[in-house]
Amino acid sequence: MDLINNLYIGFQTSLSLINLWYAFLGAMLGTLIGVLPGLGPIATIAMLLPSMYSLEPTSALIMLAGIYYGAQYGGSTTAILINVPGEASSVVTALDGYQMARRGRAGKALATAALSSFFAGTIGTLVVAAFAPPLTALAFEFGAPEYCALMFLGLVGAVVLASGSLAKALAMVILGLLLGQINTDVITAVPRFSFGIAELMDGINFVVIAMGVFSFGEIIANLGKPAEHREIFVKKVTGLMPTKDDLKEATPATIRGTILGCLLGVLPGAGPMLASFSSYSLEKKCSKTPDEFGKGAIQGVAAPEAANNAGAQTSFIPMLTLGIPTSAVMALMIGAMTLMGIQPGPQVMTSNPGLFWGLITSMWVGNVMLVILNLPLIGIWVKLLTVPYRFLFPAIMAFCAIGVYTLSNNTFDVYCAAAFAVVGYLFHKLGFEPAPLILGFILGPMMEENLRRALLMARGDWSVFVTRPIAATMIAVAVVLMVVITLPAISKKREEVFVEEE
C-alpha cells in the first residue's frame, strides 16, 4: 500500500501541466542531443546547469532526467539508420540495427528499439520505486564511517568499471580528488592550494570543470576530425510494426537486457554503456545462431536498447537514496540539486516527497512521450544530421560561455572553463576517460569530510571503519574488487567487454 500511495503522490506531481511540459522538453531535447554525434547528456546537462537557478527544483530535475534517458532513445535512431551512434551506449545497437536497415527492415529495427526501451524504462521505474524506500531507510543507519566507506567503494567502482586502461582511470580519479582539494578547509578555515587567487578560495565550480572538459573539449575534439562522408541509405522508413516472429525473437532478449541493465545501472561507473555491451555479449552466447549477430539479428537491437534504458533508470537509485553519483550524469544531477539548495541524500524522500516521487514517476511519463514521439519524428532527425557542424559548434560554444559567465558573473570562470577545454582535448587525444575525474571531484570532498568526522568521533581510532559492520562490508567489497580486477583472466575479459567502444 505504501508503494501505491507513494506513486499516487508522484503522479500528482509529475502530471501537473508545468511538469508535463518540462518532461516533454527534456525528452525532446534528450532525443535531439542523442541524435547529434559529438553532443550527449553530460555536455548538455553541463550547459544547462546555470539556467537551473530560475526553475522550480522538481521541474528542473524532471527536465534533466528527461534529457538523460531521452538521449538513450535518440542515439539508437541514427545508429540504426546511418550507422552513426549518437551515444556511446548505442554503439552496440549499430552493429545489427544498421544491417537491418540495409536489408529494408529499418522500420522494424526502430520499432523494436523503441518498444524495448519503453519496456525497460517501465520496469526500471518500478525497480526504482520499489527499492528506493528500503534503501533510504537503510541510509538513515549510516554514520560518517559508513558514508566514507560507501564513497570509497564508489571511487573504486568508478576505476574498475571505467572503459579503457585501469591506470588511466585511476589517474583520472586521483586528479579529480586533487582538484576537489582546492578550497578553504571547513575546520581550520585556511585556504588550500588557492595560490593566493581569491576566486579559488571557494573551490573550482564543478560546472566549470564539466562544461570545459565535456562540452568545450568535445567540440575541439570534433573539429580535429576530418569531415566524414555520411551516406544515408534509408530515404523512407516503412513497415514500423514488427511481425509475430520478430516479437517472438526480440521479447526474451528484451527481458534479459532489462534485468541485466537494472543490475548494472546501480553500480558505480557502470550505467547504460556497460549494460548495452554486456547484454549484447550475453545474447550472443544465449543465441542458437550466434553467427547472425552483426548481420541483422533483431536480438542485437532489442537487448542492448533494453539494457541501456534500464541502466539509465536504475542509476538514479544511489543518487536519490544515498546522495552518491554512479556516473558523471548523476554527479551533475547532484550538482543541480545542490545549486537549488537541496541536500542530496536519504532525507529528500521524507522532507520533499513530492520532488522525490515526482521525479521517479516522471521517468515513466517521459518514456511514454518518447515512444509516441520518436517514430513519427525520424525523418526530422535524419534531416537534422545534414546541418554542417561549422554552423552548430559556434552556437554551442557561445551558449556554454554565457552559461559559465552567469554562474558568478565573473570572467575567471570562463577562463577556467577554457583551460579545462584544453585539458579535455588532451584527455581525448591520450585516451583518458573524463567521467572518473568528475566522480573523483564530487566524491572526494564528501569522503574527506566524512573521514575527518569519523576520526573525530572515534578520537583518531582508525578501527572505526572495520568494527562497524556496514562500513567494514563496503571496504571489504572495495578491496575484493581491487584484487579481482588485477587477475589476468578478469583483466583480459574486461578489455573484451570494452573492445567495441574503441
Q: What is the 3-state secondary structure (H, E, C) of 93-119?
A: HHHHHHHHHHCCCHHHHHHHHHHHHHH
192 membership: H or E segment, kind and range: strand 191-192
For residue 54, with 0-12 CB atoms within 10 Å meaning exposed, 13-18 middle and 19 or more buried, which class applies?
A: exposed
pLDDT more than 70, % of the chain: 84
Could you tell me the CA-to-CA distances from 17 to 13, 23, 353 in Å, in that order? 9, 10, 19
With respect to residue 269, please indicate whether it lies within any of the assigned structural domains: yes
Write phi, then psi, for 191 (nearest 5 degrees).
-60, 140
Q: Under a CB-based contact definition with an 8 Å cutoff, are residues 401 and 138 in contact?
A: no
* Residue 319 confidence (pLDDT): 81
Span 22-66, pLDDT tens digits: 999 998 888 887 776 556 677 778 778 777 777 888 898 899 888
Q: DSSP assignment of 251-265, as one string?
A: HHHHHHHHHHHHHHH
As for how many domains the chain has, the answer is: 1
Helix (H) / strand (E) containing 281: helix 271-286
Q: Kind of pairing, strands 183-184 and 191-192? A: antiparallel
Query: Which three three-digit cell numbers place residue 11?
Result: 503522479
Residue 184 bridge partners (DSSP): 191
CA 218 – CA 88 distance, rounded (Å): 13
In the prediction, which pLDDT does 17 show? 92
pLDDT digits (tens, 9 = 90+) for 397-410: 787 787 777 767 78
Element (H, E) at 77: helix 57-82
Bridge partners of residue 192, in order along the sequence:
183
3-state SS assignment for residue 433: coil
Cα separation of 226 and 203, whole Å? 38
Residue 177 lies in a domain: yes
Alpha carbon distance 404, 68 (integer Å): 21
Q: Read off the pLDDT band of 502 (50, 70, 90).
A: very low
**pTM (two decimals):** 0.68
**103, part of any domain:** yes
- Residues 485 and 494: their CA atoms lie apart, in Å, by 8
Does residue 500 carry a pLDDT above 60?
no
Closest C-alpha to 478, from 315, 197, 268: 268
**pLDDT higher than threshold 70 for residue 229:** no
Whether 88 maps to a domain, the answer reads yes
Question: What's the rounded Cα separation, in Å, for the pair 361 and 14?
Answer: 6
> What is the CB neighbour count within 10 angstroms for residue 194?
16
pLDDT at 230 over 60: no
The parent domain of residue 312 ranges over: 2-497
Q: What is the per-residue pLDDT for 400?
A: 72
Rounded Cα distance, 367 and 371, in Å: 6
Asked whether the predicted pLDDT for residue 21 surpasses 90, the reply is yes
> What does the block give as the cell for 430?
591520450
Measured between alpha carbons, how far is residue 447 from residues 148, 338, 423, 451 in Å? 5, 17, 25, 6
Cell of 98: 544498421
Q: How far apart are CA 295 and CA 280, in angstroms?
A: 14
Task: Output the pLDDT for position 233.
Answer: 46
Q: Is residue 489 domain-resident?
A: yes
pLDDT in tens, 148-181: 887 888 788 777 766 667 788 888 889 989 988 8
Q: Which residues pair with 39 in a beta bridge?
A: 37
Neighbouring residues of 362: CB distance < 8 A, sequence distance ≥ 6: 10, 13, 14, 19, 23, 62, 65, 66
Q: Go through the chain and tell me how many residues it has.
A: 502
Q: Which three cell numbers stand for residue 493?
A: 575479459
pLDDT given at position 23: 92
**Segment among 35-49, 88-102, 185-199, 251-265 with least mean pLDDT:** 35-49
Query: d(Cα 310, Cα 111) in Å, to the nearest integer?
Result: 17
DSSP per-residue letters across 42-56: HHHHHHHGGGGGGS-
Residue 353 located in a structural domain? yes
Q: Is residue 385 part of a domain?
A: yes
φ, ψ (nearest 5 deg) of residue 37? -65, 145
186: cell is 571547513
Query: What distance in Å separates the CA atoms of residue 2 and residue 8, rounded to the nearest whole number?
Result: 10
% pLDDT > 90, the chain: 5
The answer as to whether 502 is a domain residue is no
Radius of gyration of the chain (CA): 22
Mean pLDDT check: name the lowest of 207-221, 303-317, 362-376, 377-391: 377-391
